Structure 1
Amino acid sequence: MAENESVGVKKEKKENGIQYAVFEDRGRQHKAEKGVIIYIDYRDDVKDGEKIEFGNVLMLRDGEKVLVGQPTVVGAKVIGHILCASAKDKKILVFKYRRRNRYKRRRGHRQKYTEVLIDEIITG
């Protein structure tokens, strides 16, 4: 074993300065970091390039400080803008089949979603 190798010492994670928030939008929770693209459920009331604000922040981390809301963090917001208002996911094929009955059904589904780029997280 070399002299510079240490046994039983855990290396620190480099997440110390990361700021992120967990917010709720339409019944789903999303983790947001500045500069990251997130995919939320489709919204027909927004357009491309429009600013969007999420105020229902459940948890907030700013460096070493962690704030957990009861139920939400007061004054915290996640602000972003819409990259694509009506993006579509890959097509999923659903195939129903019953043997010996000549019964077959093939159906496709494409889920719509909205792409949001997170611009900033306000701690309040």
Structure 2
Amino acid sequence: MYVIVDIQGQQFNLQKGRRLFIHHVKGAEAGATVEFDKVLLIEKDGQFTVGTPTVAGAKVVCEVLTPLVKGDKVLVFHKKRRKGYRKLNGHRQQFSEVVVKEIVG
């Protein structure tokens, strides 16, 4: 059984027990549970349920393992050729690590 769920504008293919990194969830602490109810598709034993736009009554329950994880550094480089203009910026995206505990629906 797997589901496709929309979490903060990104779609994820989830199964029970899977760990994933999502955009930082503000206010979540380690061990807390978060629920995502924007389930777009459910597959169970070869039967597919497609939402219009979401599946009614379906949700995914996840447990927060690490509330704040910094991702790899992303470098942003701007240059205008023949003008002597160069600018280098970078940032590290903040993520939360969660594990799927239960799929309801």
Does TM, scored on the shorter chain, surpass 0.5?
yes
Question: CA offsets, 1:66-99, max 9 Å, x none?
Answer: 1111121121111110111111111022223345
- In the alignment, the residues of structure 2 paired with residue 51 and residue 87 of structure 1 have an alpha-carbon distance, to the nearest angstrom, of 17
Aligned pair count?
Answer: 105
Shift of 1:100: 4.9
Instruction: Detail structure 1 runs of 4+ shifted over 6 Å in the superposition.
Output: none
Aligned position for 1:103: 85
- Of structures 1 and 2, the larger Rg is shown by 1
Shift of 1:103: 3.1
- Say what the alpha-carbon RMSD is for the aligned residues: 1.6
Give unmatched runs, 5+ long, in structure 1.
Answer: 1-18
Q: More displaced, 100-109 or 30-39? A: 100-109
AA aligned opposite 1:85: P
Establish whether residue 91 from structure 1 lines up as the match of residue 73 from structure 2. Answer: yes
Which of 1 and 2 has higher RCO (CA within 8 Å, sep 6+)?
Answer: 2
- In the alignment, the residues of structure 2 paired with residue 119 and residue 55 of structure 1 have an alpha-carbon distance, to the nearest angstrom, of 14
Q: TM-score, normalised by structure 1?
A: 0.75
- In the alignment, the residues of structure 2 paired with residue 93 and residue 102 of structure 1 have an alpha-carbon distance, to the nearest angstrom, of 19
Q: More displaced, 23-32 or 94-103? A: 94-103
Establish whether residue 38 from structure 1 lines up as the match of residue 20 from structure 2. Answer: yes
